[in-house]
Amino acid sequence: MTVGVGFSGEVAEFYAKYRRGYPPPVIEALRAAFALTADDIVLDLGCGTGQLSLPLASQVRSVIGMDPEPDMLRLAAETAAGQGVRNVTWVLGADSDVPALGTLVGQGSLAMTVIGQALHWMRHEELFRTLAPLFRTGGGIAVVANGTPLWQQDCAWSHALRACLEDHFGRRLEATCGTAAHDRRRYAEALRTAGFTDVGETVIDYSDELTIDEIIGGVYSAVSEDKLPRHEDRPAFAERIHRSLPPGPYLESVQVSVLMGRGT
């Protein structure tokens, strides 16, 4: 959806609690594609609250989790500490800061840059060109789309949720957040143009059952802080969503797309 930009404050907290994680087959696909080892360094660009950084940390020597929102990084660091993960460095920065990061880490130093559900905020053509010289032999880029937004799925409860949200926000919710097929084709072509080879996509499907609280929390995780309903209005907002949906269960079919390109 995202209504505005800026995943700070309470939005970051909802993001940490309610955003989908990544099932183990996704991490295994990344490990296998770039032959990750205990000597490698991985950059998770637009890392959010660490949904990819933390599971990847067990596969490599170190992970650099980079995000432009301080609150996201704070919550990621808290989660890492709670899990005993000590080999992730949290860095405040956006895609425009990658050249400076490259100066610090040096050419040929990264095994992989992974970008999960964040590339639509970035200048991807320029980013791919900037990243290209930073990879070790066999390294490269992975762009991970973790399923379509809750309000854009092809099922009755998602259609009802979308109608409710469009009425509430007074606008059509058409943004795909980089998950649509045309987005993936555009990113794949940009990887090839930037000189990446073996560009291809791995798709991992799974299903999940959501509670009403998870649906509402997922919505709250995708709006800017100024668009969040006020605390006193949230019970009525939640009730409005609940009443708009058909009876449960609320099943979602999640298709995780892992688009990868290998550096030369």
Q: Within 10 Å of residue 166's Cβ, how many Cβ atoms? A: 15
pTM of the predicted structure, to 2 decimals: 0.92
Strands lying side by side in the sheet with 250-262: 88-92, 62-67, 41-45, 110-116, 135-146, 250-262, 197-210
pLDDT at 51 over 70: yes
Q: Choose among 70, 12, 59, 71: nearest CA to 32.
A: 59
Tell me the CA distances in angstroms from 122 to 25, 33, 92, 118, one per residue in order. 26, 24, 15, 7
User: What is the mean predicted confidence (pLDDT) over 183-210?
Assistant: 95
Q: Within 10 Å of residue 76's Cβ, how many Cβ atoms? A: 27
Q: What is the DSSP letter of 106?
A: -
At 167 the pLDDT is 93
Stretch (H or E) spanning 138: strand 135-146
List, for residues 243-253, the tens digit of each pLDDT value. Answer: 999 998 999 99
Q: Choose among 20, 48, 57: nearest CA to 206.
A: 20
Q: Where are the alpha helices (DSSP H) in the chain?
A: 10-18, 24-33, 53-57, 70-83, 98-105, 124-131, 156-169, 181-193, 212-220, 234-244
Q: Rounded to whole angstroms, how far apart are CA atoms 111 and 108?
A: 8
CA dihedral over 245, 246, 248, 249, signed as positive or negative: negative
Q: Rounded to whole angstroms, how far apart are CA atoms 133 and 102?
A: 9
Q: Where are the domains of the chain?
A: 10-148+175-209+251-262
pLDDT at 175 over 70: no
CA dihedral over 236, 241, 246, 248, signed as positive or negative: negative
Q: Are 42 and 114 in contact (CB under 8 A)?
A: yes
List, for residues 88-98, the tens digit of each pLDDT value. Answer: 999 999 999 99
Q: Are 43 and 13 in contact (CB under 8 A)?
A: no
Higher pLDDT, 180 or 175: 180
Per-residue pLDDT band for 225 (boundaries 50, 70, 90) equals: confident
Per-residue pLDDT band for 6 (boundaries 50, 70, 90) equals: low
- Percentage of the chain surpassing pLDDT 90? 82
Q: Choose among 262, 254, 264, 172: nearest CA to 206.
A: 254
At 2 the pLDDT is 36
At 176 the pLDDT is 65
Q: Rounded to whole angstroms, how far apart are CA atoms 96 and 101?
A: 10
Q: Choose among 88, 92, 134: nearest CA to 113.
A: 134
DSSP string covering 221-234, please? TTB-GGGSPPGGGH
Q: Choose among 44, 91, 196: nearest CA to 133.
A: 196
Q: Which CATH number fits domain 10-148+175-209+251-262: 3.40.50.150, 3.40.50.11540, 3.30.460.80, 3.10.129.10?
A: 3.40.50.150
At 87 the pLDDT is 98
Q: Rounded to whole angstroms, how far apart are CA atoms 181 and 201?
A: 11
List, for residues 103-122, the tens digit of each pLDDT value. Answer: 999 999 999 999 998 898 89
